[in-house]
Amino acid sequence: MMFRLRAFFSIVFSALLFVALPTLAAQPLVVVHPDRPSVRDARYDFQISLLKLALDKSGVPYQMRPSKFGMEQGRMLTQLEKGLDVDVVWSMTSREREQHLLPIRIPIDKGLIGYRVFLVRPDKLAQFAQVHTLEQLRQFEAGQGSFWPDTEILRANDLLVYGATVYENLFSMLEAERFDYFPRSITEIWDELKARPDRNLVVEPSILLYYPAAAYFFVNKQNKVLARTIETGLRTAIRDGSFDQLFQTYYGEFIRKANLGNRTVIRLNNPLLPAETPLQQKQLWFQPPS
């Protein structure tokens, strides 16, 4: 009798499990990304659109939503490492970040994060027009976020850097002459200026600061499923051309505005760049005009 009861319950359990499996398999992957730090901040628009494209192309059912509150870069990286509040972030890579987080080694902006032009006060334009070498640039002080890899890169090249903990404060500090220039990626600078029409700041037209750099999507070290899902989607988007189409939609006009071929290029070393950076995969990187 006991054997028959055990057999009966085993059959019932197996049947229930068989019914439940399709439901469990169909559960969408929930992906929480950082919300914008402020309503006028457009820096995240491309990254959010690219993340959605990658998840679409992965073929995996998903739900994507912003975090419950906006975060500065340092906070969102810390929370991701702890497995709190966010499932994926985007940031410039460094050896330290790749020790604490799991990188998806596809440069999401094709390396444009290392193409830097300057926000300056209008009264500084004549002085910067005379800058043609790294040694000459060392006479001026840059402003950067205290915890940004860029700050370490600039200092490693013997450039003066004023560090600020709050991104938004950098614009008012520049205007108040706390430092001389604010190097920004060509993917960021025009949106930042447009969002702050009250600031007496302009884009410096003659200098391009360049260092090899990659911005990646990062996930928690334990979240290998999400990492594989995003990488699969990104590589599919690269193959079918939708990655390039989105890239041009967001950044094509900014690249043209930067007028890269007519700027003095000042090259920096990037001692933070990990050895695993896929620099040899030319199809992943922006190719500037010669």
Task: Answer yes or no: are the C-beta atoms of 246 and 53 closer than 8 Å.
Answer: yes
Q: 3-class DSSP state for residue 249?
A: helix
- Locate 43 and state its tokens: 């820096």
Task: State the pairing for strand pair 182-185/115-120.
Answer: antiparallel
Whole-model pTM: value is 0.85
What is the reported pLDDT for 290? 66
Which domains are seen in the chain, by residue range?
A: 24-109+215-258 (3.40.190.10), 113-210 (3.40.190.10)
What is the reported pLDDT for 10? 45
Model pLDDT for residues 103-153, shown as the tens digit of each residue: 999 999 999 999 999 999 999 999 999 999 999 999 999 999 998 999 999
The alpha carbon dihedral of 202, 208, 209, 213 has a sign of: positive
How is residue 141 annotated by DSSP?
E
What is the reported pLDDT for 40? 61
pLDDT-flagged residues of the chain (< 70) = 1-26, 37-41, 290
